[in-house]
Chain A
């Protein structure tokens, strides 16, 4: 780790201001950022901890029926407090890492980081969520822009994520044996106006929607509907843990299982 200053503001305004300085970076739960710092892979001058800002924490149901989760809310809190409203999302949060990771890691940190194997991006994209920042609202479809890349500007803070609550949803995560992140993860959500299928862990472009499956499932919400579909291996990740072919295959298997689990 290189030396840095740490500040811990209690309001969003102060945080935004602090992040306006050179070489300042937001610190959420630190579950991604701290290991990066320890390996000396980043050298921010100032870390602005968001953990003191109560206004961006918590889970509640919005007037329009959407589930609203503060950007600084931990995975553990989501697992607990979203369970009654959006069980598929709560179960996803409960499947992230281990208890220590869930006690500190936040939804805002996960979405800001947009790791290609992370779980929340699949839920956000699969739910057609809205990512709310200190400056604007961004539709999930516009937000994810490839591995570790998002629509966020420098210093922009995710304050809230709004999830339309589906009629049925499930996340199927096939764990990479070492990291236990998603080797492939598929989030399926059925809404009155159609089905959304979001895939994480598989593509070199990061989280993506499998539109053929969405179309097929929108007319017939059953694993059978996927029978004649396949995902091309082109552009899938190949690494120590799986070839592009394997990942493409898993996308289909897990989509089927997610549908079965949701229905």
Chain B
């Protein structure tokens, strides 16, 4: 029997009532009295020197209240990268300043160089068009290889190079890995591209700022996954507004996928403008602005080598990657291709040698940062493609070659050759489960049926491991993080026994408002409907590092557990007082505090009430109230893992790929709400399959974004997918967090692209077409081109 409440049950998502009835309240729904509108003037060229900006005509236009240019922000700080990466030679990365508005130079199409504030949005737009900017276009760099070549145009003249860093992981393993590859009986080499993606959250970015001259307080309503970090960055680095005078509110947020983790210049602009004009200022991105200026994802060009024995035993992985960081460093942009990518390059495997070299490259394109999966999809794709290729070369079954090299269940905790300590896992069990799900024996019959219809059918498989629950502060501190990555929660028990839980995680589609109460209610033995989650407001919650990296439950959920434990302990004190017993004798089960070995007990509700009516409390020993806060800093990453398989059909005449079935077996450790987990996997699969098949971000050589609208940027739709089969019954609970959970938000996006590409290659090979690799997206045109080229 599935559980009907508490941990392990699947209550429907309570937040959906407001979302599905149009009652969600997003930043753009917040209307402040007297609000004004900001519109940005953005560069049409990818690289240009700003000679002059004439705002006089714009300033004189109807309704215009103020015009800003980069000149107005020369004295304020820049938006920093959150991680400092050092190059192999020990030098720190090049870190050019990212200004609020471009000054001196524009560096990508869409780079904002001026902003107009007006009474209406239309007036602001008219005036923004009337700004006369003399910008001398210079040659742009778009291609990373060309950007690193001698004499390439520079994105940032002051650093003298387009290379941000040249990072080695683990540098001490480099020689041994080189040697192992040199001597290996078999080496498979693959060059591949991990295609750039535009996040495309359904809700575009938006920010509204308000300044109260009476208190000197600023309020910023903004589309953030991470309101405390935004406040910290604005306060400490960009505008210098004291944290106690700045309130950041991220209300309902319509999807982020990473793109809303970061602080953006528009947020700083509306804050500064609100103070200057003394009225609220609001900005909402158009879809075109979102395409041009949201931080993009992925964009790696990689060469990977796998050295192995003839029997398929892995000896070494060596990877050389160029990672595009775009025109400016976004907050996580330096961590994503390094510590979220290089550290995963041993995969699920007990391979002895791993070395990764990553060169981060500035180009005249939108900044690139963490996008659902962030680094781990890039690692997984490289590994699982080269492994598939090696299996084919060696004539070994693709699942068997993986099984053969897995870290075995009795080897945990296992320190991988890429330096992470995997706490637990059972990868063989995941493959067993996957095989149960996919009816491999029936494949040949299905393939024949496809063949009758003129289609080529293929089976694609892969496994993955990722690192979630970001992250142990001590570890990331060593690795270059400039912040800690704990989280926090306050559990406030009201006098009448219901509860508000203030959490640092931010829900923008993940279902925290449903899942977190399941945890608290389960621990306290109460109805989960009496528990409310409060999130997204820096003035209400203690602190938090937001939601990304599949960290909310593993890190913030652990803080919730710790705070709830403190509430129980405090409750025991109160119960002991009420029951005239010693605190040590109080036990708490199923919502009852009882004296061990007696029938004396009081319910949680009575204890809560007593906490607020402390008429007879011994006040020197017992404080009134029942509210506790905990900060939780994880001891390690968590390591979800999975095994995925799909069957695809290729139409050899048109190149069109159809996904016929997709199965995902994941190990997320313990599962709090299976329905939400399943939904997260579905969403992740949709994004991963979208990346594999249709999503492509294309800049031309002048840095113009050719795929800048939905007419050219293909978003996956429901009818692009089969019904997914997902399973999360293989559970090896995380050993170091109190819930034993691992995180499930990104797995689908991480695990699915290689399965699709492996499947298409398998289909072509079985059809006698000798194609060994096609770069994503495997759009019909590209697949046809590959088939055509091979014949």
Contact of A177 with B779 at beta-carbon distance under 8 Å, contacts A240-B696, A240-B698 already known:
yes
Contact of A250 with B654 at beta-carbon distance under 8 Å, contacts A240-B698, A243-B781 already known:
yes
Contact (Cβ within 8 A) B713 A241:
no
User: Which residues B740-791 have CB closer than 8 A to chain A?
Assistant: 779-781, 784-785, 788
Stretch at the interface among B19-27, B176-184, B624-632, B703-711: B703-711
Contact of A241 with B781 at beta-carbon distance under 8 Å, contacts A178-B694, A178-B712 already known:
yes
Shortest C-beta distance, A215 to chain B (Å), equals: 23
Shortest C-beta distance, A63 to chain B (Å), equals: 41
Contact (Cβ within 8 A) B714 A243:
no
Q: Which residues of B contact A249 (CB under 8 A)?
A: 784, 788
Cα distance, A174 to B710, chains bound together (Å): 17
Cα distance, A174 to B711, chains bound together (Å): 15
Contact of A178 with B698 at beta-carbon distance under 8 Å, contacts A3-B122, A241-B779, A243-B781 already known:
no
Q: Give the number of residues in B that approach A within 8 Å (Cβ atoms).
A: 26
Shortest C-beta distance, A234 to chain B (Å), equals: 18
**A179 interface neighbour in B653, B656, B712, Cβ under 8 Å:** B712
- Answer yes or no: B288 CB below 8 A from chain A CBs: yes
Cα distance, A181 to B711, chains bound together (Å): 9
Q: Which residues of B contact A250 (CB under 8 A)?
A: 654
Cα distance, A120 to B780, chains bound together (Å): 23
- Answer yes or no: A242 CB below 8 A from chain B CBs: yes
Contact (Cβ within 8 A) B654 A174:
yes
Contact (Cβ within 8 A) A178 B714:
yes
Q: Which residues of A contact B785 (CB under 8 A)?
A: 243, 246
Contact of A240 with B654 at beta-carbon distance under 8 Å, contacts A178-B694, A246-B784, A249-B784 already known:
no
Cα distance, A181 to B788, chains bound together (Å): 24
User: Which residues A135-180 have CB closer than 8 A to chain B?
Assistant: 174, 177-179
Interface of B is mostly: loop
User: Which residues B617-671 have CB closer than 8 A to chain A?
Assistant: 653-656
Cα distance, A253 to B654, chains bound together (Å): 8
Contact (Cβ within 8 A) B698 A177:
no
- Answer yes or no: A219 CB below 8 A from chain B CBs: no
Interface residue tally on A, bucketed by range: 10 to 19
Q: Which residues of B contact A245 (CB under 8 A)?
A: 788
- Identify the closest chain A residue to B288 (Cβ): A39
Shortest C-beta distance, A102 to chain B (Å), equals: 16
Cα distance, A3 to B123, chains bound together (Å): 11
User: Which residues A194-224 have CB closer than 8 A to chain B?
Assistant: none
Cα distance, A183 to B655, chains bound together (Å): 13
User: Which residues A27-51 have CB closer than 8 A to chain B?
Assistant: 39-40
Contact of A253 with B653 at beta-carbon distance under 8 Å, contacts A241-B779, A246-B785 already known:
yes
Cα distance, A249 to B655, chains bound together (Å): 11
Contact of A240 with B694 at beta-carbon distance under 8 Å, contacts A177-B714, A178-B713 already known:
no
Contact (Cβ within 8 A) B122 A178:
no
Contact of A246 with B781 at beta-carbon distance under 8 Å, contacts A39-B288, A240-B696 already known:
yes
Q: Which residues of B contact A1 (CB under 8 A)?
A: 122
Q: Which residues of B contact A177 (CB under 8 A)?
A: 693-694, 714, 779-780
Contact (Cβ within 8 A) A240 B710:
no
Q: Which residues of A contact B713 (CB under 8 A)?
A: 178
Contact (Cβ within 8 A) B654 A178:
no
Cα distance, A178 to B709, chains bound together (Å): 9
Cα distance, A1 to B108, chains bound together (Å): 25
Cα distance, A241 to B656, chains bound together (Å): 12
Q: Which residues of B contact A241 (CB under 8 A)?
A: 712, 779, 781
Q: Which residues of A contact B712 (CB under 8 A)?
A: 178-179, 240-241
Contact (Cβ within 8 A) B781 A242:
yes
- Identify the closest chain A residue to B698 (Cβ): A240
Contact (Cβ within 8 A) B780 A240:
no
Contact (Cβ within 8 A) A240 B784:
no
Q: Which residues of A contact B654 (CB under 8 A)?
A: 174, 250, 253
Cα distance, A241 to B782, chains bound together (Å): 8
- Identify the closest chain B residue to A184 (Cβ): B654
Q: Which residues of A contact B129 (CB under 8 A)?
A: 40
Q: Which residues of A contact B696 (CB under 8 A)?
A: 240
Q: Which residues of A contact B711 (CB under 8 A)?
A: 178-179, 181
Which of A243, A246, A249, A253 is packed against the most chain B CB atoms within 10 Å? A246
Cα distance, A145 to B392, chains bound together (Å): 53
Shortest C-beta distance, A167 to chain B (Å), equals: 27
Q: Which residues of B contact A242 (CB under 8 A)?
A: 780-781
Cα distance, A179 to B709, chains bound together (Å): 9
Shortest C-beta distance, B142 to chain A (Å), equals: 15
- Identify the closest chain A residue to B706 (Cβ): A240
- Identify the closest chain A residue to B129 (Cβ): A40
Shortest C-beta distance, A249 to chain B (Å), equals: 7
User: Which residues B97-153 have CB closer than 8 A to chain A?
Assistant: 122, 125, 129
Cα distance, A242 to B125, chains bound together (Å): 36
Contact string against B for A residues 56-99, beta-carbon threshold 8 Å, 1 for contact and 0 otherwise: 00000000000000000000000000000000000000000000
Shortest C-beta distance, A99 to chain B (Å), equals: 13
Cα distance, A250 to B656, chains bound together (Å): 11
User: Which residues A76-129 have CB closer than 8 A to chain B?
Assistant: none
- Identify the closest chain A residue to B690 (Cβ): A177
Cα distance, A183 to B779, chains bound together (Å): 12
Shortest C-beta distance, A231 to chain B (Å), equals: 14
Cα distance, A178 to B706, chains bound together (Å): 12
Which of B653, B696, B713 is packed against the most chain A CB atoms within 10 Å? B653
Cα distance, A254 to B787, chains bound together (Å): 18
Which of B693, B707, B780, B785 is packed against the most chain A CB atoms within 10 Å? B780
Q: Which residues of A contact B698 (CB under 8 A)?
A: 240
- Identify the closest chain A residue to B694 (Cβ): A177
Cα distance, A1 to B125, chains bound together (Å): 9
Cα distance, A178 to B714, chains bound together (Å): 4
Shortest C-beta distance, A229 to chain B (Å), equals: 15
Q: Which residues of A contact B653 (CB under 8 A)?
A: 253
Q: Which residues of A contact B714 (CB under 8 A)?
A: 177-178
Cα distance, A205 to B198, chains bound together (Å): 32
Shortest C-beta distance, A226 to chain B (Å), equals: 13
Shortest C-beta distance, A149 to chain B (Å), equals: 20
Shortest C-beta distance, A238 to chain B (Å), equals: 10
Contact string against B for A residues 1-39, beta-carbon threshold 8 Å, 1 for contact and 0 otherwise: 101000000000000000000000000000000000001
Shortest C-beta distance, A181 to chain B (Å), equals: 8
Shortest C-beta distance, A5 to chain B (Å), equals: 15
Q: Which residues of A contact B710 (CB under 8 A)?
A: 178-179
Cα distance, A240 to B709, chains bound together (Å): 13
Shortest C-beta distance, A189 to chain B (Å), equals: 22
Contact (Cβ within 8 A) B707 A240:
yes
Cα distance, A181 to B714, chains bound together (Å): 12
Cα distance, A246 to B655, chains bound together (Å): 10
Cα distance, A245 to B785, chains bound together (Å): 9
Cα distance, A249 to B693, chains bound together (Å): 21
Cα distance, A243 to B786, chains bound together (Å): 13
Shortest C-beta distance, B384 to chain A (Å), equals: 24
- Identify the closest chain A residue to B707 (Cβ): A240
Cα distance, A181 to B710, chains bound together (Å): 11
Cα distance, A257 to B375, chains bound together (Å): 43
Cα distance, A124 to B712, chains bound together (Å): 26
Shortest C-beta distance, B775 to chain A (Å), equals: 14
Cα distance, A99 to B788, chains bound together (Å): 36
Shortest C-beta distance, A96 to chain B (Å), equals: 15
Q: Which residues of A contact B122 (CB under 8 A)?
A: 1, 3
Contact string against B for A residues 237-263, beta-carbon threshold 8 Å, 1 for contact and 0 otherwise: 000111101100110010000000000
Shortest C-beta distance, B356 to chain A (Å), equals: 31
Going nearest first, the 5 A-B pairs with the smallest beta carbon separation are A178-B714, A177-B714, A242-B781, A179-B711, A177-B694
Contacts from A to B (Cβ < 8 Å) = 1, 3, 39-40, 174, 177-179, 181, 183, 240-243, 245-246, 249-250, 253
- 8 A-B pairs whose Cβ atoms sit less than 8 Å apart in the complex: A1-B122, A174-B780, A179-B712, A183-B780, A240-B706, A241-B779, A241-B781, A246-B785
Beyond contacts A178-B707, A240-B712, A241-B781: 8 other A-B pairs, Cβ-Cβ < 8 A, are: A1-B122, A177-B694, A177-B780, A178-B712, A179-B712, A181-B711, A240-B706, A246-B655
